[in-house]
Amino acid sequence: MDIRSYIDDLKEENLLVNFDDVSFDVSNIAYDSKKVSNGTLFVCKGAAFKKQYLEEAIEKGACCYVSEDCYDVNIPQIRVGDIRKAMAVIAGRFYDHPDRKLTLIGITGTKGKTTTAYYIKAILDTFLLNSGKKPAGILSGIFNYYGKDYEESSLTTPETFELFEKLSNAAENGLEYLVMEVSSQALKYHRTYGLMFDFAGYLNLDEDHISPGEHSDFEDYKASKLLLFKACDVAVLNKDSEHYEDFLNECVDAKKVISFSSKGLDADYRACDINAKNGVLEFNIVYHDASRDTDEPVRKSNFTILSSGEFNIDNALLATSIGSELNVPYEDMKEALYNVKVPGRMEVVKSRGGRIAIVDFAHNKLSFIKLFEAVKKEYPDKKIAIVFGTPGGKAYDRRALMGMIAAKNADKVYITEDDPYREKAEDICEEIRAEAVKYSDDIVVVLNRQDAIKRAAEETDAEWIILIAGKGIENSIKRKEGWVPMEPDNKCIERVFCEIESRKG
């Protein structure tokens, strides 16, 4: 594709400041000098960008560079006013606007994005496979799939060039649908700029990701989430959320707005007759069918999810609302939700001797509150132990908040590492402990995560339930030296339960 097409696109989006005389066919786009080849259009991005990176790109074959600043180098420049938006425009042109070839579904919220994405994929897969078609694609915080093999995810929403490449691969591999989590960081930094979502779903909103490297305050966090609803055909909103009206007001360009509720509000899709017990959720769905000449609601009964956590009803409602709008038969949706498993999300691990642990990705205030509410309701006779930590370098306010919530709700608290990165794990743990001890005396710090899980299991018995929060099924931990292999939490507690019961004979 001739470079002039990219310049024209940037001009159309009012991003072009000026450009040098340039003419060549773009055969590659990159922002990492290690990925440059002949014919590359190179993008200079990031606060830490150095001229050295551009010089390395030129040596490897970059023919032109795009940046907000000028550099004294011997290749032409395209100067733009916003490099993040420019990247999305460039990627859209290079990958031929892959969102236009897919039914693209985006999910956002503070809690539940991954589970909802899995529910939607399960619903679509059941319908598609029953119709002899290929399964849906997914970009999530656990795995990605775009038509060939599943791959582990490194970011909730990939960087711009990688995101458009994956969408392009999905379209080229013949997929019709793709569901993706859309993070606040992706929206704030315009990774999804220019994409048009066929469906955009909103779950909930609570304070999170507030730190110098993320969002300056809650309003900035909320404003980022709202951006998704400026670029969708159909918006699906949780009417139970206190921020429902904020999101509704952003949907002025949407062709249709759908609401759902699990709290009895007058919404398009409502859950009722909810029963949550011993890791099983049962509920009915009531909705109005515009195709029928009646005001009477349609009741679809007997939905069952083999998972703990009544909050998963909201995730299921969002998923089934989208499924219904896509004309997926309710029998397919019921089958999908009954069979779906979301790795590391409210994952129940049971031992032969009756021990129970729940492994969950709960990593912020809202998810912690919901986790304890669910466990206390579904396992009222169990004492609770929890193993958790908070990450380094971000979301500093989680430390005191989660320490307080854990100490108020658990009978034993084991504080440990969770991606400390450049910080010392012991310093993070001490910040959590300092708040937790204000509310409970049974607080211990065990720095090594596997050791903390083992100690929690050894100091409890079948009268307890052990919650292991924050990492899900992740098989590495981020320390100062980088990502270090780690036994996933679910495998660790399975092993520890077996070892303890083997010793007891």
Residue 399 pLDDT > 90: yes
Q: Evaluate if residue 32 carries a pLDDT over 70.
A: yes
215 confidence band (pLDDT: 50, 70, 90): confident
Strands 269-277, 280-287: pairing is antiparallel
Higher pLDDT, 153 or 471: 471
Looking at residue 343, its pLDDT comes to 86
Average predicted confidence (pLDDT) for the chain: 93
Domains 98-339 and 347-503 share a fold: no
Q: Count other C-beta atoms under 10 Å from residue 98's C-beta.
A: 23
SS3 242: coil
What's 3-94's CATH class? alpha beta
Taking the CA atoms of 304, 305, 311 and 317 in sequence, report the sign of the dihedral they define: negative
Nearest partner of 435 among 399, 467, 411, judged by Cα: 399
As a whole number, mean pLDDT of residues 445-466 equals 97
Cβ neighbourhood burial of 35 (10 Å; 0-12, 13-18, 19+): middle
* 281, 338 Cβ separation under 8 angstroms: no
Q: What is the predicted pLDDT for the residue at 292?
A: 61
pLDDT at 395: 82
Confidence (pLDDT) at 174? 96
Mean pLDDT over 105-118 rounds to 94
Rg from Cα positions in the chain: 24
pLDDT band at residue 394 under the 50/70/90 scheme: confident
According to the model, what pLDDT value does residue 289 have? 66
Q: Is the pLDDT of residue 124 over 90?
A: yes
Indicate if the pLDDT at residue 478 is higher than 70. Answer: yes
pLDDT at position 207 over 80: no
The pLDDT assigned to 142 comes to: 87
Q: pLDDT tier at 336 (50, 70, 90 boundaries)?
A: very high
- Say which residue the tokens 């498993």 belong to: 341
CATH for 98-339? 3.40.1190.10
Does the pTM surpass 0.85? The reply is: yes
CA distance 124 to 333: 8
Q: What secondary structure, in 3-state letters, does 332-368 show?
A: HHHHHHHHCCCCCCCEEEECCCCCEEEEECCCCHHHH
Contacts of 321 (CB under 8 A, 6+ apart): 201, 236, 258, 260, 268, 269, 287
Predicted pLDDT at 279: 82
Sign for the CA dihedral angle at 346, 363, 460, 376 comes to: negative
Asked if the model's pLDDT at residue 29 lies above 80, the reply is: yes
The predicted pLDDT at position 254 comes to: 97
pLDDT-derived band at 409 (thresholds 50, 70, 90) equals: very high
Contact 233, 256 (CB under 8 A): yes
Alpha carbon distance 180, 202 (integer Å): 13
- Write out the H or E segment, with its range, that includes residue 276: strand 269-277
Strand partners, 160: none
Three-state SS for 289?
coil
Backbone torsions φ then ψ of 357, nearest 5 degrees: -130, 150
Instruction: State the DSSP code for 210.
Output: B
Provide the pLDDT for residue 424.
Answer: 96
Q: Helix count (H) and strand count (E) of the chain?
A: 15, 24
Find the mean pLDDT for residues 207-213.
72
347-503 has which fold?
Protein-Tyrosine Phosphatase; Chain A (3.90.190)
Q: What is the pLDDT of residues 50-107, one digit of tens each?
A: 999 999 999 999 999 999 999 999 999 999 999 999 999 999 999 999 999 999 999 9
Residue pLDDT, tens place only, 240-297: 999 999 999 999 999 999 999 999 899 999 999 999 887 889 999 998 766 666 667 7
Checking if the pLDDT of 341 tops 80, the result is: yes
Residue with structure tokens 């079948």? 462
6 neighbors 87 (Cβ within 8 angstroms): no
Pick the range with the lowest mean pLDDT from 148-152, 344-348, 435-439.
Answer: 148-152
State how far the Cα of 210 lies from the Cα of 214, in Å rounded to an integer: 6
What tokens appear for 6 in the block?
A: 């990219």
Count how many residues are written for the chain. 505
Query: What are the angstrom distances between the C-alpha of 18 and each of 94, 220, 285?
Result: 20, 31, 55
Side-chain-side CA neighbours of residue 87 (13 Å): 24
pLDDT at position 364 is 87
E strand or H helix at 465: strand 464-469
What does the domain layout of the chain look like in residue ranges? Answer: 3-94, 98-339, 347-503
> Alpha-carbon distance 161 to 87, whole Å?
7
Looking at residue 294, what is its pLDDT?
Answer: 64
255-262 contact pairs (CB < 8 A, 24+): 258/234, 258/321, 258/325, 260/236, 260/314, 260/317, 260/318, 260/321, 261/317, 262/313, 262/314, 262/317
Burial class (CB in 10 A: 0-12, 13-18, 19+), 318: buried
